[in-house]
Copies of this chain bind each other. A is one copy, B any other.
Amino acid sequence: MFSTEEYIARRAKLKELMGSGLVLLMGNEEVGINFEDNIYPFRQDSSFLYFFGIQTNGLAAIIDLESGEELIFGDDPSIDHIVFSGPIESLQSQAAKVGVTHVKSGTDLSDYLGEAVSKGKKVHYLPPYRAEHALKLTDLLHVPTSKLKEQSSTELIKAIVQLRTIKSEAEVVEIEKALNVTVDMHYKAMEMAQPLIKESDVYGAVSQIALAKGVGTSFPPIVTINGQILHNHYRGNELKEGDMLLCDCGAEIASGYAGDLTRTFPVSKKFSKDQKEIYNIVFEAYSTAVALLKPGRLFLDVHLAACEKIVEGLIAFGLMKGNAKEAVAEGAHTMFFQCGLGHMLGLDVHDMENLGEQYVGYTDTLKQRTDFGFRSLRLGRALEEGMVVTVEPGIYIIPELIDLRKKEGKYLDFVNYEMLEKYRDFGGIRIEDVFLITPEEGGRILGNRLPGSAAEIEEFMLSHQRL
User: Which stretch, A30-38, A91-99, A111-119, A168-176, touches the partner chain B?
Assistant: A30-38
Q: Tell me the complex Cα distance, A89–B83, Å.
A: 48
Chain B residues closer than 8 Å to A45, beta-carbon distance: 34
Contact between chains at B129 and A354 (CB < 8 Å): no
The reply to whether the CB of A406 lies closer than 8 angstroms to some CB of chain B is no
A residues 341-359 near B (Cβ < 8 Å) are 347-350, 352-354
Q: Tell me the complex Cα distance, A462–B34, Å.
A: 39
Beyond A34-B348, A85-B229, A232-B86, whether A131 also contacts B129 by CB under 8 A is no
A residues 175-205 near B (Cβ < 8 Å) are 198, 200-201, 203-205
Contact between chains at B35 and A230 (CB < 8 Å): no
Contact between chains at A353 and B35 (CB < 8 Å): yes
Contact between chains at B39 and A43 (CB < 8 Å): no
The reply to whether the CB of A130 lies closer than 8 angstroms to some CB of chain B is yes
Contact between chains at B129 and A36 (CB < 8 Å): yes
Contact between chains at B400 and A83 (CB < 8 Å): yes
Contact between chains at B31 and A85 (CB < 8 Å): no
Chain B residues closer than 8 Å to A203, beta-carbon distance: 211-212
Contact between chains at A135 and B145 (CB < 8 Å): yes
The reply to whether the CB of A322 lies closer than 8 angstroms to some CB of chain B is no
* A41 and chain B: residue at smallest CB distance: B220
Q: Tell me the complex Cα distance, A86–B46, Å.
A: 31
Please pick, from B35, B205, B350, B404, the residue contacting A354 in the complex, using a CB distance under 8 A: B35
Q: Tell me the complex Cα distance, A44–B205, Å.
A: 25
Q: Tell me the complex Cα distance, A204–B86, Å.
A: 22
Contact between chains at B200 and A211 (CB < 8 Å): yes
A residues 64-93 near B (Cβ < 8 Å) are 79, 82-87
* A258 and chain B: residue at smallest CB distance: B34
Please pick, from B35, B84, B198, B211, the residue contacting A212 in the complex, using a CB distance under 8 A: B198
Chain B residues closer than 8 Å to A40, beta-carbon distance: 31, 33, 40
Q: How many copies does the complex hold?
A: 2
Chain B min CB distance to A35 (Å): 4
* A45 and chain B: residue at smallest CB distance: B34
Q: Tell me the complex Cα distance, A220–B34, Å.
A: 13
The reply to whether the CB of A226 lies closer than 8 angstroms to some CB of chain B is yes
Interface string of A126-152 (1 = CB under 8 A from B): 000111101100000000010000000
Chain B residues closer than 8 Å to A230, beta-carbon distance: 84-85
Contact between chains at B212 and A36 (CB < 8 Å): no
Chain B residues closer than 8 Å to A36, beta-carbon distance: 129, 353-354
Beyond A37-B353, A353-B37, whether A209 also contacts B219 by CB under 8 A is no
A residues 201-222 near B (Cβ < 8 Å) are 201, 203-205, 207-213, 219-220
Q: Tell me the complex Cα distance, A35–B349, Å.
A: 10
Chain B min CB distance to A260 (Å): 11
Chain B min CB distance to A182 (Å): 14
Chain B residues closer than 8 Å to A207, beta-carbon distance: 204, 207-208, 211
Contact between chains at A135 and B129 (CB < 8 Å): no
Contact between chains at A83 and B338 (CB < 8 Å): yes
* A254 and chain B: residue at smallest CB distance: B236
Chain B min CB distance to A267 (Å): 17
The reply to whether the CB of A234 lies closer than 8 angstroms to some CB of chain B is yes
Chain B min CB distance to A322 (Å): 23
Q: Tell me the complex Cα distance, A35–B345, Å.
A: 13
Contact between chains at B209 and A84 (CB < 8 Å): no
* Sample of 10 A–B contacts (CB below 8 Å): A32-B129, A38-B219, A79-B404, A86-B232, A130-B131, A135-B145, A198-B212, A207-B211, A208-B208, A208-B211
7 closest A-B pairs (Cβ-Cβ)? A204-B212, A131-B131, A208-B208, A35-B354, A86-B229, A204-B211, A35-B353
Known: A82-B400, A130-B131. 7 other contacts (CB 8 A): A38-B349, A131-B135, A203-B211, A204-B211, A205-B212, A207-B211, A208-B211
